[in-house]
Amino acid sequence: MSAGIDLDDVCCDFGSFRAVDHVNVAIQPGEFFSFLGPSGCGKTTILRMISGFTEPSSGVVRIGGKDMRGQRPNQRPTALIFQNLALFPLMSVADNIAFGLEVRGIDKAKRRARADELLRLVDLPGAGDKMVSQLSGGQKQRVAIARALAVEPAVMLLDEPLSALDLKLRQHMRAELRAIQKRTGVTFIYITHDQGEALAMSDRVGVMSHGRLQQVANPRDIYDNPANGFVASFVGENNILAGSVGAVGQGFASYDTPLGSFRARMAPNTGGAVKLYVRPEHMRFTAEAQAENSVPVTVTDVAFEGNFISVHALSENGTNLVAELRNDGLGNTPAPGAKLHISFDAARAAILPDETAAEA
Amino acid sequence: MQDLLRRYGTGLTGAFVLLTAFWLLVLIVLPNFYLLENSFRPYLPRVDMGGPLDTYSFDNYAKILTGSSPTEVFGLTVTLPVHVKSFLLTVGYSAFVTVLSFALAYPLAYYLAKIVQPKSLPTLFLLLFVPLWVSEVLRSFAWFIILSLKGPLNFSLLGLGIIEAPIRWIAGYRSIIIGLVYTYVLFMLFPIYNAIQSLDTNQIEAAEDLGSPWWRTHWRVILPHAKPGIASGAVMVFMLSAGSLLVPVLLGSTESNWFTQVIQQWMFEAADWNTGSAYAFILLVLCTVFVSLVMRVFRVKLSDIAK
């Protein structure tokens, strides 16, 4: 039923602008795969190439192993959920859901039965006779999902469908989408610029920037072992220090900065310009200097964020460092003005190719 | 109103209101009321006006039922009063002109609204508008020349080998239909263009993505969305066609008699403004009824058109 998708060295040019640049990825049948990236990174173009609204300038899109070149969207086994959902406002909810079946010449009674069945699947039983305008944002979302599922696609393509919803509903729909995907076993390809969404829902995430696929990995690896500075910065916060690599050995390297010398993880064949990336939640404060990766600082600002506390500190040479402390209720938050040492584990810090310039 | 007052002051606002009232009252309501009043009075010599003979009646309206002409309709011979026949033909052919205009305007409107590159739109619109810079009279005369038996159209068709003998274009109602479609097709094009343009392109793509062939996307998604635009275009083209005098006069053949020509004959040839007015109101009222009925059939509300 569900099919895998291969993007084989796919490029897409709009005039002189290269929207998608040599993308290679194999998406497994039944996988929940997200393309994550800032707006303009080419992720929507990828989606439109898979659904058939845009043809690649070069390279091949395969669905279930079949070359899709020259196949119109109405000939592909994909169903696209648009960012604005694109429900048909002049049709009832049931007619919306059954549209794909109507197109396939299925008779009215069967269509209606299938629409009602899908409405139960998306948790909207009995809404078939309503008009689209009578539904709330979250309900419209479900109808769009049901409409796409009605044609029994091998691949579902979702173009930031949650972006218009409020935070609570968004979190709820995340779980819902994930559950529907597991229940139906259809391959989901999800486009988003929201890292939280991508990490929470996906089996694998492909991070994109400037038309290039920067890294494809499971959410944990994307966050913990980013391939480069762009991925590290786009997915989560960082303290970024510039300097130069010193002694290298056994997956670690020393890194000299104006703030002092640090030790951090570095992949064996890392080349080019690099920077040191440390996540704020991996920073900690101590009264005494630690054996390594320790900097004396003065706390400048303490921002209470609810479940965590963001602490800004200034080193002696004027570098701003940020630590995020868990709000554990023990009340050991440093006060502004406190003179402390900030430190991190070498295993929690990474020396990565600097690609923040590419992000701009 | 408050807003107008605040923005333009009492003087200017008063001027706006007075001018609008003047336009509505003096140029529209009063003349129509004058014609309506006259349509119920007999056509009398000057001396009898206001005399005992000058009484209100429906006599002028009843005149449409006098005189008869046997007409062949689908093999049946029907005897109709001459002017009723002329009226029915006018309504029928105006409806035909409307359908023809729609058939021409819809594909073009869709093309302009959804397919063409936005940067070439101004040029295309200019090409559509350029003919309007020439007066309607001249354009109708131009068609008279184009359609004449030894005119450019027959010359081209003969030259291209499409026809073997010249076609008599100015015969029956043919040339009137061609002229009316040409004159009023833009009134159909622009409302439909506006309607289709306001359709979210994603809806068209969503339909295609769900497997819909192009014709079903038009039938189920684009046409229903464009319905108010089609309705307002159709009402305009129909009413303008039925009320057109210039095109039937210039492009009419010996066999054609548009109802407006009948009105014109009463008013200017018989100098009987009373009967002419009665006929004019018959045309106005019956066309309005016809349009309302068609709108009822196609489930279009007046408020949809006003949008």
Residue B173 lies inside a defined structural domain of this protein = yes
Nearest residue on chain A to B221, alpha-carbon basis = A88
Strands A187-192 and A155-159: parallel
Work out the minimum CA distance from A73 to partner chain B, whole angstroms: 5
User: Residue A37's pLDDT is what?
Assistant: 93
Q: Residue A1 — very low, low, confident or very high, per pLDDT cuts 50/70/90?
A: low
- For residue B233, the SS3 value is helix
Residue B179 lies inside a defined structural domain of this protein = yes
Say if residue A358's pLDDT is above 60: no
Which is more confident, A21 or B46? A21
Residue B35 lies inside a defined structural domain of this protein = no
| DSSP per-residue letters across B89-150 | HHHHHHHHHHHHHHHHHHHHHHIIIIIS-GGGHHHHHHHHHGGGGS-HHHHHHHHHHHHSTT
Q: Which domain holds residue B97?
A: 67-306
* Domain boundaries defined on chain A: 5-229, 231-359
Contacting A residues, span 83-122, partner chain B, CB-CB under 8 Å: 83-84, 86-88, 90-91, 99-100, 102-104
Strands A204-209 and A32-36: parallel
Write down the residue that tokens 């310009």 correspond to: A273
Residue B285 lies inside a defined structural domain of this protein = yes
Determine, for residues A88 and B207 on separate chains, whether the beta-carbon distance falls below 8 Å. yes
Determine, for residues B206 and A151 on separate chains, whether the beta-carbon distance falls below 8 Å. no
For residues A314 and A297, the answer to whether their CB atoms sit within 8 Å is yes
User: Residue A28's pLDDT is what?
Assistant: 94
In this prediction the ipTM stands at: 0.82
Q: Residue A360 — very low, low, confident or very high, per pLDDT cuts 50/70/90?
A: very low
Nearest residue on chain A to B225, alpha-carbon basis = A90
The count of other CB atoms within 10 Å of the CB of residue B297 is 8
The CATH architecture that domain A231-359 belongs to is Beta Barrel (2.40)
Comparing CA positions, the residue from B221, B230, B224 lying closest to residue B193 is B230
Residue B60 lies inside a defined structural domain of this protein = no
Helix (H) or strand (E) holding B297, with range, is helix B273-297
Determine, for residues A90 and B225 on separate chains, whether the beta-carbon distance falls below 8 Å. yes
Per-residue pLDDT tens digits for A296-340? 999 999 998 888 899 999 998 888 999 998 888 777 788 888 899
Separation of alpha carbons A322 and A284, rounded Å:
10
The domain total for chain B is 1
For residues B238 and B95, the answer to whether their CB atoms sit within 8 Å is yes
Determine, for residues B211 and A74 on separate chains, whether the beta-carbon distance falls below 8 Å. yes
Chain A residues touching residue B209 (CB < 8 angstroms): 51-53, 73-74, 78-80
Helix axes A137-150, A93-103, angle to 10 degrees: 20
Per-residue pLDDT tens digits for A39-92? 889 999 999 999 999 999 999 999 999 999 989 999 999 999 998 999 999 999
Residue B13 lies inside a defined structural domain of this protein = no
Helix (H) or strand (E) holding A181, with range, is helix A167-184
Instruction: Divide the 307 residues of chain B into consecutive groups of 10 and give the mean pLDDT of each group.
Output: 81 91 94 92 85 86 84 77 91 96 96 93 92 89 92 91 88 92 94 95 94 94 94 94 94 90 92 92 93 89 73
Residue B131 belongs to domain with CATH number: 1.10.3720.10
Write down the residue that tokens 């895998």 correspond to: A4
Separation of alpha carbons B254 and A73, rounded Å:
56
Report angle CA A28, A30, A31 to the nearest 5 degrees.
60
Per-residue pLDDT tens digits for B205-224? 999 999 999 999 999 999 99
Contacting A residues, span 125-154, partner chain B, CB-CB under 8 Å: 147-148, 151
> What dotted CATH number matches A5-229?
3.40.50.300
Separation of alpha carbons A170 and A239, rounded Å:
29
